[in-house]
Amino acid sequence: MNSGAVPLIRVSAPSRPGRRPYHRGVTTPPSAISAAELTVWRTMLRAQVRISRRLQADLLAHHDLALGSYDVLMHLGEAPDGRLRMNDLADRVLLSRSGLTRLVDRLQREGLVVRQSCTSDARGLFAVLTAAGRARLDAATPTYRQGVRDYVLSRLDEDDLRVFGHILGKLADEPAERAGRGTGGVSRITA
């Protein structure tokens, strides 16, 4: 019987040469996750889902625009000439190529984006923000930013924000990118 012991969940984790996993005060084998670690993981997932759902509800209620659609319009709006190659856009919005194709199809039917051929690559396509797409983005951005402020930023003080940005930077980067930058950190957070 295992009275009082913290339950462990075994997972396989890829080893990273020259880098030790987090062990601060944790006496579990490297392939195990303690109950405390699992709680942090689940809390992060729950927070991300709740924040996304709230932002989605706000955008739908005020602008009839889903969060994924806003994300596409935002990335196009920030790109030079309001256009990005479909592959680059898929990477930025974290959708599969087919998922992005379906979303851009919807946005194109609504007149918010158009597709343009790439002159240098016959197989390549650009997604391009239309004037109507720019207007919808401009109208929705204050709602989006207010949601980010209400659901995230207002709950963090300056120190929290700095630490949170640093932690998220570590989690978002690929290990090879982190190694090339040293300790790095988040230099800017956009919303």
- Work out the average pLDDT over 6-22: 48
**Which range of residues forms the domain containing residue 106?**
38-147
In a domain, 142, yes or no: yes
In a domain, 15, yes or no: no
Tokens of 118: 């790439």
In a domain, 16, yes or no: no
Distance CA 65, CA 63 (A): 5
Distance CA 67, CA 71 (A): 6
- Work out the average pLDDT over 162-174: 89
The pLDDT confidence band at residue 124, using thresholds 50, 70 and 90, is confident
What was the pLDDT predicted at 94? 78
Question: Could you tell me which residue, 59 or 87, shows the higher pLDDT?
Answer: 59
185: alpha, beta or left, given left = phi > 0 and alpha = psi -120 to 50? left
Question: Which residue from 24, 25, 32 is spatially nearest to 7, judged by alpha carbons?
Answer: 32
Amino acid at 28: T
Query: Would you call 24 helix, strand, or coil by DSSP?
Result: coil
Does pLDDT of 170 surpass 80?
yes
In a domain, 97, yes or no: yes
Task: Count structural domains, the chain.
Answer: 1
In a domain, 75, yes or no: yes
In a domain, 187, yes or no: no
In a domain, 82, yes or no: yes
- What torsion, rounded to 10 degrees, do the Cα atoms 178, 47, 13, 187 define? 0
Does pLDDT of 14 surpass 70?
no
In a domain, 139, yes or no: yes
Question: Could you tell me which residue, 96 or 16, shows the higher pLDDT?
Answer: 96
Question: Which DSSP symbol is given to 7?
Answer: P
Q: What is the CATH number of the domain that holds 77?
A: 1.10.10.10
135-156: per-residue pLDDT in tens? 999 999 999 999 999 999 999 9
- Work out the average pLDDT over 84-106: 90
